[in-house]
Amino acid sequence: MIEQSPIYKNDSKIPGGEMMNYSVVKGTSYTLVNAPDMVLHNGTTQTTERRLNPESEYLKSLPNHIRSFDEVVNYLPNQIYIGNHKPEELRKLEEPWYDKGLSDASKDGKFGEIMPQDEFLGLIKIVDVFDLVKLTKEFTEDVKVKLGNHPLLSDDHISRLRLGDEIEEIENFISKHGAEGIYNYGELVGCIKRAHEIDINLSAHVLFENLVSKASAVLSALNLLAKNDINPDDVEYVIECSEEAAGDMNQRGGGNFAKAIAEFANLKNASGTDTRAFCAAPAHAIVLGASLVQAGTFKNVMIVAGGSTAKLGMNGKDHVKKGMPILEDVLAGFAMLISENDGINPILRTDIVGRHTVGTGSSPQGVITSLVTEPLDRNNLKITDIDKYSLEMQNPDITKPAGAGDVPASNYKMIGALGVKRGELKREELNDFIIKHGMEGWAPTQGHIPSGIPYVGLGRDEILEEKINRTMIVGKGSLFLGRMTNLFDGISIVMEKNPGKLKEEKTVSEEEVRLLVAEAMRDFASHLLKD
């Protein structure tokens, strides 16, 4: 058994007085996909407007508010997301941030990458196993060269692009057979076919959403393996936690995205399943994955999620009205690997888990109490014992113009106010608490993506660099959106500095016991003879 680290002095009261051998976060990845044409043709705000008011001024002016790929790459919040910059830099940058591009930005990041639209369209074709995706011959030829130079894609991946199809065939699928068009900078370059004549769950629109989510998740999974030098054969289980649903009319959300993603990430030894809880799903997935590893069920569990086309341009009307570019122009994905304790990587404290229970209620104070203070109280910790809180890390550049305010700042004010109420902070210390324990938001508004997850990679690095000891990852969700319940949802878990790996007690074999007994008998006999 290891000696207790100072950070465990008062907060590791495990039954029997022994410390658990917690699972660890072994690696993370974060990816973005620039999708300007999907904003125009697939984002829910735009598709709804086109259906209800096809001649609206908003739709006419929208193309003038689309950012270039370089502008997307040079945007500081995006660079923070893929690991090239730190959230603290946002405090030094005057708001709004979108008109203050970086000069040294790269599409390749420490945690992942920003993929251009044309390459991603090729990736959608690659992950399609039912020949639902059709791309023109000209576009296929061009993108095959670009993806052939991508360091994470194999020859087998590239071969799946095949030769492409004639534009006339694609136009026929769209006009007569319910296919959805695929566009690249205004040009029709392909389509996604429906997979059933009447099943809405297999319509071209739903399949478009699902294939995009799958492809962006595969991109994140491949980056996780490459950026963290992980052997794909070591991954035993995958938990997918997006907001999409794969199925048909007989089981409309049956799944399994996890298995489908594992197939294209070459995780030959993996099985998996999907978990859903709206925005809170990734935090639930972390708790589930950490528990599975800690229990010894699996040694390595991957958590993964792709992006959502529905959320593209979600606040577009407000952005256009204020003369801004459309900032919701990227699909976001992430992946992380949870593994057995290696004595190095940050541990996931499964004994410090907050839960929004059925009886919690929906008041902001009640939600924060259940997710933050209640698990801390159970473990003799104060609010100030958590170095960084990661809740809803939405980018205020996006949310403020839409009237939603600065979401992270509101959450930190609530936590700080509870600290004052509990006597753990002085009222005059509230602003300092927000600065020290909070962060500016940088995540795209992709539903499940902002909810706690964006900081896991950065937090892992800061713990390994001994800049912080603990961070709390908090997922919050709106279950009432599904019209099944009016309840809110949420779950939290603490990621903490690793105090060292538990040493396994040395076991003694039957043969060793026999020899020890024989030796003891000989010693005893020799003493008798001497007497």
Residue type, 43: G
pLDDT of 104 reads 86
H or E element, residue 461: helix 455-464
pLDDT of 354 reads 98
Give the pairing of strands 271-274 and 237-240.
parallel
Q: What is the pLDDT of residues 263-304, one digit of tens each?
A: 999 999 999 999 999 999 999 999 999 999 999 999 999 999
Contact 242, 255 (CB under 8 A): no
Q: In this model, does residue 11 exceed pLDDT 60?
A: no
Q: What is the DSSP letter of 66?
A: P
CATH class for the region spanning 6-496: alpha beta
Q: In this model, does residue 62 exceed pLDDT 90?
A: yes
Q: In this model, does residue 13 exceed pLDDT 50?
A: no
Helix (H, G, I), strand (E, B) or coil at 266: coil
Rounded mean pLDDT, 134-139? 98
Burial class of residue 467, CB neighbours in 10 A (0-12, 13-18, 19+): exposed
**What's the chain's average pLDDT?**
93
Count the alpha carbons within 13 Å of 105 in the hemisphere toward its beta carbon: 22
pLDDT of 48 reads 97
- Picking from 18, 28, 216, the residue whose alpha carbon sits closest to that of residue 117 is 216
CA dihedral 13, 14, 16, 19 (to 10 degrees): -100
Residue type, 180: E
Helix (H, G, I), strand (E, B) or coil at 305: strand
Helix (H, G, I), strand (E, B) or coil at 216: helix
Q: In this model, does residue 514 exceed pLDDT 90?
A: no
pLDDT of 3 reads 36
Going from N- to C-terminal start, the domains of the chain cover 6-496
Question: d(Cα 166, Cα 439) in Å, to the nearest integer?
Answer: 50
Q: What is the pLDDT of residues 352-395, one digit of tens each?
A: 999 999 999 889 899 999 999 999 999 999 999 999 999 999 99
Residue type, 401: P
Question: d(Cα 266, Cα 282) in Å, to the nearest integer?
Answer: 22
Question: d(Cα 289, Cα 502) in Å, to the nearest integer?
Answer: 20
Q: What is the pLDDT of residues 196-247, one digit of tens each?
A: 999 999 999 999 999 999 999 999 999 999 999 999 999 999 999 999 999 9
Q: What is the pLDDT of residues 110-132, one digit of tens each?
A: 999 999 999 999 999 999 999 99
Question: d(Cα 426, Cα 384) in Å, to the nearest integer?
Answer: 12
Rounded mean pLDDT, 412-424? 96
Residue type, 38: M
Q: In this model, does residue 520 exceed pLDDT 90?
A: no
Q: What is the pLDDT of residues 420-472, one digit of tens each?
A: 999 999 999 999 999 999 999 999 999 999 999 999 999 999 999 999 999 99
pTM of the model: 0.91
Residue type, 101: G
* Contacts of 239 by beta carbon, 8 Å cutoff, 6+ apart: 258, 272, 273, 274, 275, 285, 288, 289, 301, 302, 303, 304
pLDDT category, 416, cuts 50, 70, 90? very high
**How remote is the C-alpha of 203 from its chain's centroid?**
27
Q: What is the pLDDT of residues 76-87, one digit of tens each?
A: 999 999 999 999
pLDDT category, 505, cuts 50, 70, 90? very low
Tell me the H-state helices in 228-333: 257-264, 281-294, 316-321
Q: In this model, does residue 2 exceed pLDDT 60?
A: no
The fraction of the chain above a pLDDT of 70, given in percent, is: 92
Q: Residue 170 phi/psi, 5° resolution?
A: -65, -45
Count the alpha carbons within 13 Å of 80 in the hemisphere toward its beta carbon: 25
Instruction: Using the Cα atoms of residue 40, residue 43, residue 48 and residue 49 in order, give the sign of their dihedral.
Output: negative
Question: d(Cα 73, Cα 119) in Å, to the nearest integer?
Answer: 15
